[in-house]
Amino acid sequence: MTRIMRFWPVALLGLCGLAWLVRGPAAQAPVTVAPPALDNPKAAGPPQTVVLAGGCFWGVQGVFEHVRGVTRVVSGYAGGKRETAEYERVSEGNTGHAESVQVTFDPAQVSYGRLLQIFFSVAHDPTQLNRQGPDTGKQYRSAIFYGDDAQRKIAESYIAQLNAEHGFPRSIVTHVDPLDAFYPAEAYHQDYLLHHPHDPYIVFNDQPKIAHLRQLYPQDYRDVPVTLGR
């Protein structure tokens, strides 16, 4: 399902927001999962990036902006071609793109595996196929776009681990795909949760994720988020 912008009145709601009006709120409950058995140890080094797709990028960006050690989070598109990397085209659901976030982090403060743990437990539901909550379509699929072989091995190992531990009621459907390119989304999507905290879609679908992050990962949570403006 595609969407327009999510403000009142209905004509200005996003299509995700419009789905909320039709179907009702669908805030995700947090899931406590074990840390990955295979991970890179925290160590000083240059900034690293990971690209994650977990439904509407507004909420996923909002979660990782509150993670200690994260220095930058950009909403955008991954999985498709440059010429279709724009919101209206992606919202049609047939471009190959997924709404994604590019997370830049300090490997001395937070590990890649820890970010995946947060991704699986509070940022989205990895058992929903081509949807998240009220939003449906391949552009809302769950995916990890890896930048190198080490990221691929950790992601694949962690998914196998979580499935073996039966931490979720259904199998994880998250794709693990090579990152060909990441295309930043339009400016009005960036830091959307922070700029529109009272948007009904944000209140019911995304603000609970921030609370779950603070509840499950107090040592990784920071109250003042990093933003593209900082």
Segment 168-183, tens digit of pLDDT: 999 999 999 999 999 9
Exposure pattern of 54-69 as b/e (b: 16+ CB <10 Å)? Answer: bbbbbbbbbbbbbbeb
**Number of other CB atoms surrounding residue 94 within 10 Å:** 12
Give the pLDDT of residue 116.
Answer: 98
- In sequence order, the β-bridge partners of residue 135 are 132
**Residues recognised as catalytic:** 56
Confidence of residue 31 (pLDDT cuts 50, 70, 90): confident
Of the candidates 75, 88, 31, which has an alpha carbon nearest to the alpha carbon of residue 190? 75
Spatial separation of the C-alpha atoms in residues 216 and 208, rounded to whole Å: 12
pLDDT for residue 4 is more than 90:
no
Q: Which region among 29-33, 120-124, 182-186, 209-213 has the lowest average model confidence (pLDDT)?
A: 29-33
Give the pLDDT of residue 162.
Answer: 98
Question: Which carries the bigger pLDDT value, residue 12 or residue 125?
Answer: 125
Give the pLDDT of residue 1.
Answer: 37
Map tokens 């992606």 to a residue. 90
pLDDT for residue 115 is more than 70:
yes
Q: Hey, what amino acid is at 151? A: Q
Give the pLDDT of residue 70.
Answer: 98
Query: For the whole model, what pTM was predicted?
Result: 0.89
Spatial separation of the C-alpha atoms in residues 137 and 16, rounded to whole Å: 11
Give the pLDDT of residue 28.
Answer: 64
Return the structure tokens found at 139: 């552009």
Give the pLDDT of residue 89.
Answer: 97
- In tens, the pLDDT along 204-216 reads 999 999 999 999 9
Confidence of residue 52 (pLDDT cuts 50, 70, 90): very high
Question: Which carries the bigger pLDDT value, residue 6 or residue 199?
Answer: 199
Q: What is the pLDDT of the chain when averaged over all its residues?
A: 90
Q: Hey, what amino acid is at 5? A: M
**Domain 10-31+47-216, CATH among 3.30.1060.10, 3.30.70.20, 3.40.50.300, 3.30.420.10:** 3.30.1060.10
Indicate the domain borders of the chain: 10-31+47-216
